[in-house]
Amino acid sequence: MKFKNIIFITVILFLISCKENKTKVEDNQQKIAVKKVVIPEFNADSAYYYTEKQVSFGPRVPNTKAHELCGTFLVETLKKYCKEVSVQEFHTSAWDGTLLKGKNIIASFNPESNNRIFFSSHWDSRPYADYDDDVKNNRKPIPGANDGAAGVGILIELARLFSQEQPKIGIDLILFDVEDYGEPKGIESKGGDNWCLGSQYWAKNLHKQGYMAKYGILLDMVAAKNAVFTMENTSMYYAPDIMKMVWDIAASLGYSNYFSSEKTGALIDDHLYINKIAKIPCIDIVHHDPTTVSGFFPYWHTMKDDMSNIDKSTLTIVGNTILTVAYGEE
């Protein structure tokens, strides 16, 4: 097993105060400690394979055969690397009233530890290519290579590495379902929280009674070439110290071109409900592109979100950053 020596920057934030309306968070004092962390070598080919394998089933839209087959594959694969894998099955209603069968999948390393963090991504794919330039595709399901599968591919590679060299802290890898079934563009919203239904369910029904984690990190759209991850405002509102810690780690690894200090608008993503409902500080590593209509990577919610746009260098950069977080925790 190969290892890399990494200089890890731990950011300890003291005396963080919030005004009563929670519109401003101030860092009153900051201390930086530097220590050496040894991390296993992230295998981008492995993460790519697990991304491609998910896409090979077809669009993982809830209530479809592809979704069922992929869910089985994910559970069986995680069980190869982790002794404790739990499946949280649930039913939920989509924006149009469709009853959906969902399945959150959780792999727990060092499960007896109360000192925990978690990494997460969503494994379902969107049923509508509603941002595709070809209107004939707007009600077709997307391949979902970058939007979903890539984040899961990174997490499975982490599971493989954790099975060989367990970090000191307890770590949960959470694959959320039914994230991407919100109403399509062109349909007037009926209001309500119609996105991120799996993470909403998990936040209200934690997979273990009394479960708590120090913080969580969500991966969403983390594999496009030359991706840029900005400090989006939902993360900065609820967990600015965690976001700064992760971005400082990325900078220490030489990844500042990918992890930008630019502040961008708040997003509705799985981390929003984890913060609001479960009260666990959680940030989102998510691709931002100001040149697109959506503000996301160019092929977001289109039929072109396929394996041709998955970049192994980006997988490695995100993987190494997350690994450094994991192995740097005491």
The 10s digit of each residue's pLDDT in 138-175 is 999 999 999 999 999 999 999 999 999 999 999 999 99
Distances (CA, A) of 283 to 13, 213, 280: 16, 13, 10
Q: Tell me: pLDDT of 6 over 60.
A: no
Taking Cα atoms as reference points, which of 37, 185, 57 lies closest to residue 124?
57
Separation of CA 149 from chain center: 10
Cα–Cα distance, 170 to 280 (Å, whole number):
15
Q: What is the pLDDT of residue 192?
A: 85
Q: Tell me: pLDDT of 64 over 90.
A: yes
Burial pattern 131-156, b for ≥16 Cβ within 10 A else e, equals: bbeeeebbebbbbbbbbbbbbbbbbb
Q: What is the pLDDT of residue 316?
A: 98
Strands (E), 74-169: 84-93, 99-109, 116-122
Q: What is the pLDDT of residue 35?
A: 52
**Paired sense of beta strands 229-232 and 25-26, if any:** unpaired
Q: What does pLDDT average to over the chain?
A: 91
pLDDT tens, 180-211? 999 999 998 877 899 999 999 999 999 999 99
Taking Cα atoms as reference points, which of 76, 295, 318 lies closest to residue 310?
318
Q: What is the pLDDT of residue 307?
A: 98
Cα–Cα distance, 275 to 248 (Å, whole number):
22
> Which pTM value belongs to this model?
0.90
> CB of 163 within 8 A of CB of 82?
yes
Identify the band that residue 8 occupies on the pLDDT scale cut at 50, 70 and 90. Answer: very low
Instruction: DSSP letter for 274, please.
Output: I
> In percent, how much of the chain has pLDDT > 70?
89
The number of residues in the chain equals: 330
Ramachandran angles phi, psi of 103, nearest 5°:
-150, 100
> CB of 229 within 8 A of CB of 258?
yes
Tell me the mean pLDDT in the region 224-236. 98
Structure tokens at 93: 């209603």
Q: Tell me: pLDDT of 123 over 90.
A: yes
Identify the band that residue 36 occupies on the pLDDT scale cut at 50, 70 and 90. Answer: confident
Torsion, CA 278, CA 282, CA 303, CA 191, rounded to 10: 40
* Strands of the sheet with 84-93, listed across from one edge: 84-93, 99-109, 170-176, 116-122, 216-220, 282-286
Structure tokens at 203: 């936040």
pLDDT tens, 260-286? 999 999 999 999 999 999 999 999 999
Which residues are CB-neighbours of 127 under 8 A, at least 6 positions away?
A: 59, 61, 141, 180, 181
Cα–Cα distance, 195 to 179 (Å, whole number):
6
Taking Cα atoms as reference points, which of 156, 146, 151, 162 lies closest to residue 121?
151
Count other Cβ atoms within 10 Å, centred on residue 267. 18
Cα–Cα distance, 209 to 232 (Å, whole number):
31
